[in-house]
Amino acid sequence: MTTGKTALILGGGIGGIVAATRLRQRLGPEHRVVLVEKEADHVFSPSLLWLMLGRRLPGQISRPIAALAKRGIEIVRGSIERIDPAARTVRVNGAEIAGDHMIVALGAEFAPELIPALAQAGTTSTRSPGPNRYAPRWRN
Ligand SMILES: Cc1cc2nc3c(=O)[nH]c(=O)nc-3n(C[C@H](O)[C@H](O)[C@H](O)COP(=O)(O)OP(=O)(O)OC[C@H]3O[C@@H](n4cnc5c(N)ncnc54)[C@H](O)[C@@H]3O)c2cc1C
């Protein structure tokens, strides 16, 4: 019978990646660290500012989430549809995943439409917008 526990980490953003890597470093191999993320790549949000100015390319501020597997972190790629905090289970791609401990690091939902006229007045960048989408506007 295994004595290992499963740490379920929801979200592969800054908080989720730090939690997963630190736990993996500290926990013995009998324990599992499972990270659930809907995107293929982690985008380092603070560097979006450099991307907007054309000082970085998208590939310079993102890394594949799958690379964490090399560190012994199990990756589940998919969108979390439901969280049951009492049972410590999540539904991902229609399947239930259970953990002994759960860290929720799903970030924030941006809602620029709630601020009148914001969309007309400016641009919000919360994910990689593609190569230098904003740079020409900033240069003018
Ligand atoms: C332009 C910009 C500049 C910033 N600059 C700074 C700075 O200089 N210093 C600073 O401290 N902070 C800065 N921040 C804020 C910082 O990026 C956030 O505080 C930080 O990313 C929050 O980390 P998090 O792990 O909570 O969420 P996030 O990093 O947003 O990660 C959440 C993750 O959850 C995933 N996710 C969400 N919903 C689901 C779902 N249903 N299923 C599966 N996965 C899901 C997302 O894809 C994402 O990968 C900046 C943010 C932006 C946008």
Which residue has better confidence, 102 or 133? 102
- How many domains does the structure of the chain reveal? 1
Query: Tell me: the pLDDT tens digits for 7-57?
Result: 999 999 999 999 999 999 999 999 999 999 999 999 999 999 898 888 999
Lining ligand 1 with CB less than 6 A are 11-16, 36-39, 45-46, 48-49, 79-80, 105-107, 125-126
* pTM for this entry: 0.89
pLDDT tens-digit map of 76-123: 999 999 999 999 999 999 999 999 999 999 999 888 888 888 878 876
CATH code of the domain covering residue 83: 3.50.50.60
On whether residue 1 sits in a domain, the answer given is: no
pLDDT confidence band for 127 (50 / 70 / 90): low
Q: Whose CA is nearest to atom 53 of ligand 1?
A: 126
Range of the domain at 96: 6-139
133 within some domain: yes
DSSP 14-77: HHHHHHHHHHHHHS-TTSEEEEEESSSEEE-GGGHHHHHTTSS-GGGSEEEGGGGGGGT-EEEE
